[in-house]
Structure 1
Amino acid sequence: MSKTGGGYWKRLVRSLTSDVAELDAEDLSDRSQASGAQRASECQCGQEAVVLGRVRSVELCPKTSAPTLEAELYDGTEGVTLVWLGRRRIAGIEPGRIVKARGRIAVRDGRKVLYNPYYELQNTA
């Protein structure tokens, strides 16, 4: 059997027997690495980082006088919260969207955060 044929069957069997969430996480992680982004699980507090992942949730947090828009970005390894201070909405930042974000990693309540990150909306395909 040819090398490509064996690879095809191996991928097919794996796709039929693996959990969908596991396959999605692996796909996101591979796409993140291919784009030159870092894995969120490897980013450290204070480090300038570029992460790529899928937006899981978006929330408006009217905590104090200035609202904040928060989006959870998941790259297949770990989540990073993107926080835009003083924003109520950003066009294109919505659940399911692939986003590439750049900024300095901070930690808030034990979670990784990027405040006012630079971002690029990516094609979903």
Structure 2
Amino acid sequence: MGGTEAGTFRRMLRRLTSDVEQLDADDLSAGAAREGAQPAAACASGQEVTVFGRLRTVEFCSPDAHASLEAELFDGTDGVTLIWMGRRRIPGIEPGRTVRARGRLAVRDGRKVIYNPYYEICQASEA
């Protein structure tokens, strides 16, 4: 087997023996790299970042607190919580959507967050 054939065989064997979550994470991180986004795992507090990934959860914070919408974006390397202050709902921001977000990264309670990010919905969720 030549070098290219052996590499193709190894990739195919890996895809057959890896678990689905790991393959999904690999696909997400490859997609983020293609989009020119930074890996979330490499982002540090205070940096202006662009992240790309899939929304895992979307939730509205309690009415007794200031209105805010939180969504967890996962890019295959790490999660980033996107927080829109003063918003109860944003059309299209829902679990399963692929989103590109840009803003200054902060760390709150040990989680990476971007407050009021600029965002672009990149594809509809798959049902």
- TM-score (structure 2 length as normaliser): 0.89
Match of 2:22 in 1: 22
Counterpart of 2:25, as a letter, is A
Question: Which whole-Å CA distance do the structure 1 matches of 2:100 and 2:4 have between them?
Answer: 32
Superposed counterparts of 1:36-47, under 5 Å: 36-47=36-47
Question: Which whole-Å CA distance do the structure 1 matches of 2:112 and 2:16 have between them?
Answer: 33
Question: Which whole-Å CA distance do the structure 2 matches of 1:24 and 1:100 have between them?
Answer: 17
Question: Which whole-Å CA distance do the structure 2 matches of 1:116 and 1:67 have between them?
Answer: 13
Unaligned runs of 5+ in 1: none
Residue aligned with 2:24, SS:
helix
Match of 2:91 in 1: 91
Question: Which whole-Å CA distance do the structure 1 matches of 2:86 and 2:28 have between them?
Answer: 29
Using the TM superposition, give the Cα deviation of residue 2 of structure 1 relative to its aligned residue in structure 2, in angstroms: 6.0
Using the TM superposition, give the Cα deviation of residue 16 of structure 1 relative to its aligned residue in structure 2, in angstroms: 1.1
Match of 2:123 in 1: 123
Counterpart of 1:19, as a letter, is D
Counterpart of 1:123, as a letter, is Q
Using the TM superposition, give the Cα deviation of residue 66 of structure 1 relative to its aligned residue in structure 2, in angstroms: 2.7
Give percent identity, aligned residues only. Answer: 59
Using the TM superposition, give the Cα deviation of residue 118 of structure 1 relative to its aligned residue in structure 2, in angstroms: 0.3
Using the TM superposition, give the Cα deviation of residue 67 of structure 1 relative to its aligned residue in structure 2, in angstroms: 1.1
Using the TM superposition, give the Cα deviation of residue 13 of structure 1 relative to its aligned residue in structure 2, in angstroms: 1.6
Counterpart of 1:117, as a letter, is P
Match of 2:71 in 1: 71
Counterpart of 2:74, as a letter, is Y
Match of 2:107 in 1: 107
Using the TM superposition, give the Cα deviation of residue 15 of structure 1 relative to its aligned residue in structure 2, in angstroms: 1.4
Unaligned runs of 5+ in 2: none
Using the TM superposition, give the Cα deviation of residue 123 of structure 1 relative to its aligned residue in structure 2, in angstroms: 2.4
Question: Which whole-Å CA distance do the structure 2 matches of 1:74 and 1:65 have between them?
Answer: 26
Counterpart of 1:46, as a letter, is G
Residue aligned with 2:26, SS:
helix
Question: Which whole-Å CA distance do the structure 1 matches of 2:101 and 2:49 have between them?
Answer: 8
Residue aligned with 1:90, SS:
coil
Match of 2:49 in 1: 49
Question: Which whole-Å CA distance do the structure 1 matches of 2:63 and 2:41 have between them?
Answer: 28
Using the TM superposition, give the Cα deviation of residue 122 of structure 1 relative to its aligned residue in structure 2, in angstroms: 0.9
